[in-house]
Chain A
Amino acid sequence: MNKTKSNRLRIFCSLLFCFIIGSKIAAQSVRVSGKVLSSEWGSLEGLTVIILPGNLTTITDKKGHFYFNNIPKDSKILKINHAGYLPYEMKLSLNETSILLPDIFLKPEIKELQEVVITDHFGLRRKKEESLNIETVNSSFIQRNLGGSLMQSLQRIPGVKTISIGSGGSKPLIRGLSFNQVIVVENGIKHEGQQWGADHGLEIDQYAVNRVEIIKGPSSFMYGSDAIGGAVNIKPIPTPSKNTFGGSVDFTGKSNNEQFGGSINLFGRNEKWFFDTRMTVMDYGDYRVPTDTVHVYNYAVSLYKNHLRNTAGRELDLHASTGYVTEKFKSVFYVSNVYSKSGFFANAHGLEPRNVDTELHDKSNRDILMPFQEVTHTKISNTTSFQLANHQVETQLGFQKNFRREWSHYVNHGFMPPIYPDAMYAPKDLERQYDKQVFSVAVKDEFSLNKHQISVGINAEQQQNDINGWSFLIPAFTQFNTGLFAYDKMQLNELWLLHGAVRLDYGKIEMEQYNDWFPSEITENGQTTSQYLKRSEDLTRTFNSFNWSAGVNYTPGKLSLKANLGTSFRIPIAKELASNGVNYHYFRFEKGDPNLAAERSYQLDLGMDWQANKWSFQLSPFFNYFPNYIYLNPTSQHDIYYGAGNQVFEYEQSKVMRYGGELQTRYQFLQNLSVEILAEYLYSEQLSGSKKGYTLPFSPPASVLFGINYSPQIKNLKDTYFSLDYRYTAAQNQIVPPEKKTASSNIFNLALGTKLKTGQQDFIISLQVQNLLNTKYLNHTSFYRLIELPEASRNIILSLKVPFLIHKSN
């Protein structure tokens, strides 16, 4: 095994070596060089430049330069076609042996500025300038890979998975970490919902996303607590061009859950004022799985016509932003409201797997009956940036309200009365309610000093959390966090870039006492009394943390190398400190530990990137160590009071080691045919505590994706593509109670799309067939994995985007 490995390595390295040599000896007579720029983004990296006839291609480097060393003298045309820009053509007359062309300025396609593409070259540059591993995708990537929710659409990126519930919700899982260990930032503000819950998705409208940056690694030094596993940074939409008025309409239909929906966007700008609005509507039915029986913890449940009972849902999202822009000043107000209502699989919610009224439930696959949840997330913010001499200052003010309710029939347990009292403070079927309100403020200053590019900043956040409902899991609490950071990026020379960051954080969490609303009978010393039991105490905890990060980038031409070493931290959340109740999704009793310390992490990240004419290769391994990972440990005990005999899970801390990496490689066979291999691997192990030797929950298995992409040039069509992805996911045999081993799977996805031009109007069409062969398989990191629920059956997704421009003048 080892021998084959080293052989493979040798072959690989020799090929690499040949390539380096090969590119050196190819100096010939006619040489053409130039530079490609855009007025908005400066030099453009990673663009393909084509010489016709002969179809010679090259790719621009990080300064936008391109060179052709050896081209025939009869070459006539130079062409650049790049999504988001108007096609560019230049006639060549090659009389001399060496020609330096004037700078080429590409013009952005105004109509698409909203939707596309600050794109590849921007992403590439970010990769080379950051020592952490960063992936950038844009809205066209999302449209091509459209899933039921934003994170599901991003799953193609190696190292990024999701913990999904149903067809419309998911939480990011970056290199095996999720929930409060991954931060989501939208428009510069940390998204605050109920991150800890696996039972609902992120309250983000994926149609409103223009560009997403995913940091696969600890980024506490930038974002503070919670960014210990990574960050998903949803960038603000770019401001429209001057004197434009336009928009776009999106339609999406999905076969599996009979979903239909869409989004309408309108934007406009005169010289300095602009606005941008959007409305997204979605409605979907119960989704289908390729099985007719599910085993909910040994309880067999039959499904009607493969429909997962009561998983229908709907969503209504509204966004509006307006602002004022000049060259040195920009101020933007955002308001958004994201609402969703979705059902839970009716047989798997409560104190035990339940029998449901199948006649009622199976009457329609579009109704949402109990149990279901409703989430409303409101955001209001202002971002203002201005230039003061050498300083670029940005201030941010934000308010968020996350209001989440879970509705379910009242089920008494413990000493709860069998009949729900009329005079109760909560409505009868309100199982839980979480009401979170967050105020946040941040100031950042960026400036350069000789070779240093320095950012300093301060941010603070105050949140208030109230609870309601007949059940109890987490107490009400208030929390205050503040942090101070400094980050220095130093360009030593053309090749070397150094990074250093330090950050100080303070956090305070105050939990409120909670008493049962019903009396319990307690027997002490032979005396039985009736008491309103205390489920949680008044408790205040404070946390301080100092974190640092240091990194280096080395970019000699096509190769770029990076390394980063840093610490990260996370303040324990209220659930980990003070939960004391039944989790109705998993039929278990969860208990917090008020003495938990702040989680800490040390991580080494490496990265190697090779971008050549026809191929690219990227490898990003990491090693991570937690001295005190917070882990929900299944004990061998049962709770016989409030827990109704369910198994007790307790929060504990243990030493954890994790390592793994991602590999991405791409080869351009022909101008319009390319193949791609994306692979990921992760290993986690608890090194101490009661689950020593076990892995962590939701550990994604290794997987590799082979993709082939054909993008022919067809008359009247633009950006046409046909792509087939085959993903092999290895078995996951490393499990921890209560998980089950998950078998390997082979899944095919097909995607095709094009941009149709009729007159001045564009139609962007994309079609996807997910799970092409209708394979029955389990996803180890799915919320419903524990109840042996297979993933969705074949799903055909059709989407159409129609951008329009009502008015434009220069």
Chain B
Amino acid sequence: MKTIKIVKLALLHISMAFFFTACSSDSPEIDTEYPVIDISAVNTFPVQCSEITRGQKIMFRTKFTDNTELGSYSLDIHHNFDHHTHSTEVNDCVADPIKKPINPMLYINSVTIPAGQKSYEAVQEINIPQDIDPGDYHFLIRLTDKEGWQTIKGLSIKIL
């Protein structure tokens, strides 16, 4: 009888100990921070409500930072003639009336940021063709870090 009791208590201890150590285990250091799209610099382009003229080349310029290592970024320019989407920015721009696309501009490109960078100034030349539909467009920047955290910035721009 006594041995059984000891066995009972021992088993109880083991299981309780298991439960409590399980509760207090520490996790190793991992990166849980998102990369940052920094549009505070004066020469950042485009910004919310920027206007771009057809038949010109524009220079995309933005600063990216991350606490450990940047990954890649993608740029996406697509029309917003149907007002299907809005921007991530607080202030809204004045939109043209809704219209049907005929030959809207579509630009999608992605760039892998060189390894080991915590801060990176992205510069990219983008050609705005002459024959595209003018109007409201969306300029979408997606930035990832090495671990796969992603930050999105959606800007409303106008192509004249």
Contact = CB atoms under 8 A, between A and B. Distances in A.
Interface in A636-671: 636-641, 644-647, 659-661, 663
Interface string B1-39: 000110011011101111110111101111010000000
B153 interface: yes
A556 interface: yes
A633 interface: yes
Given A16-B12, A637-B72, A645-B75, A298 B112 contact: no
Given A9-B13, A608-B11, A737-B148, A644 B76 contact: yes
B124 interface: no
B82 to A, nearest CB: 9
B84 A702 contact: no
B104 interface: yes
Nearest to A495: B4
Contact of A355 (B84, B104, B151): B84
A17 B27 contact: no
A287 interface: no
Given A418-B104, A693-B30, A640 B19 contact: no
Contacts of B56: none
B9 A13 contact: yes
A755 B4 CA distance: 45
A411 B87 CA distance: 18
Interface residues of A, number: 57
Contacts of B18: 606, 621, 661
B83 A645 contact: no
A735 interface: yes
B76 A636 contact: no
Interface string B94-126: 000000010010001110100000000000000
Which of B29, B74, B104 has most A Cβ within 10 Å?
A: B74
A299 interface: yes
Contacts of B12: 13, 16, 608
Nearest to A561: B11
Q: Which of A354, A355, A608, A636 gathers the greatest number of chain B CB atoms within 10 Å?
A: A636
Nearest to B25: A683
Contacts of B13: 9, 13
Contact of B19 (A16, A621, A641): A621
B60 interface: no
A352 B156 CA distance: 14
A17 B76 contact: no
Contacts of B16: 9, 12, 619
B144 interface: yes
B130 interface: no
A297 interface: yes
B32 A645 contact: no
Given A17-B9, A636-B144, A640-B110, A606 B71 contact: no
B85 interface: yes
Contacts of B148: 633-636, 647, 691, 737-738
Interface in B57-101: 71-76, 78, 83-88, 101
B150 interface: yes
B51 interface: no
Nearest to B30: A693
B145 A702 contact: no
Interface residues of B, number: 54
Which of B27, B78, B150 has the most chain A CB atoms inside 10 A of its CB? B150
A474 to B, nearest CB: 22
A510 B18 CA distance: 44
Contact of A734 (B17, B27, B145): B27
B140 interface: yes
B152 A681 contact: no
B85 A355 contact: yes
Contact of A636 (B22, B25, B84, B145): B145
A355 B85 CA distance: 4
B54 interface: no
Contact of A298 (B74, B83, B152): B152
Nearest to A695: B27
A621 B17 CA distance: 10
A299 B83 CA distance: 14
Interface in A337-363: 350, 352-355
A741 interface: yes
Contact of B15 (A354, A619, A637, A647): A619
Contacts of A447: none
Interface string B39-52: 00000000000000
Interface string A107-125: 0000000000000000000
Given A633-B148, A647-B144, A738-B148, A659 B15 contact: no
A714 interface: no
B9 A702 contact: no
A659 B24 CA distance: 12
Contacts of A659: 22
Interface string B121-158: 00000000000000000001010111111111110000
Nearest to A621: B18
A132 to B, nearest CB: 16
A298 B88 contact: yes
A661 B22 contact: yes
- Which of A17, A645, A683 is the most central at the interface, judged by chain B CB atoms within 10 Å of its CB? A645
B22 A354 contact: no
B150 A738 contact: yes
A386 interface: no
B153 A636 contact: no
Contacts of B85: 299, 352-355
Contacts of B32: 733, 735, 741
Nearest to B28: A693
Contacts of A646: 74, 142
Contact of A352 (B5, B23, B108, B154): B154
Contacts of A645: 74-76, 108-110, 140, 142
B101 A638 contact: no
Interface in A558-589: 559, 561
A661 B26 CA distance: 17
Given A355-B83, A693-B29, A694-B30, A661 B152 contact: no
A424 interface: no
A298 B152 CA distance: 7
Contacts of B17: 9
Contacts of B74: 638, 640, 645-646
Given A298-B153, A660-B22, A661-B19, A637 B112 contact: yes
A26 interface: no
Contacts of A328: none
B150 A299 contact: no
A646 B11 CA distance: 52
A638 B110 contact: yes
Residue of A12, A299, A638 ringed by the most chain B CB atoms within 10 A: A638
Contact of A663 (B19, B146, B152): B19
A226 to B, nearest CB: 26
A353 to B, nearest CB: 7
Nearest to A411: B84
Nearest to B24: A1
Q: 10 closest A-B pairs (Cβ-Cβ)?
A: A636-B71, A634-B148, A638-B74, A645-B76, A645-B74, A638-B110, A737-B148, A298-B88, A636-B144, A640-B108
8 contacts: A20-B5, A298-B151, A299-B86, A619-B19, A638-B74, A640-B109, A644-B108, A738-B148
Given A299-B154, A352-B85, A683-B25, 13 more contacts: A13-B12, A350-B84, A352-B140, A352-B152, A634-B149, A637-B144, A638-B144, A641-B108, A645-B110, A660-B22, A691-B148, A693-B27, A737-B148
Interface of A: 1, 5, 9, 12-13, 16-17, 20, 297-300, 350, 352-355, 411, 418, 556, 559, 561, 606, 608, 619, 621, 633-641, 644-647, 659-661, 663, 681, 683, 685, 691, 693-695, 702, 733-735, 737-738, 741
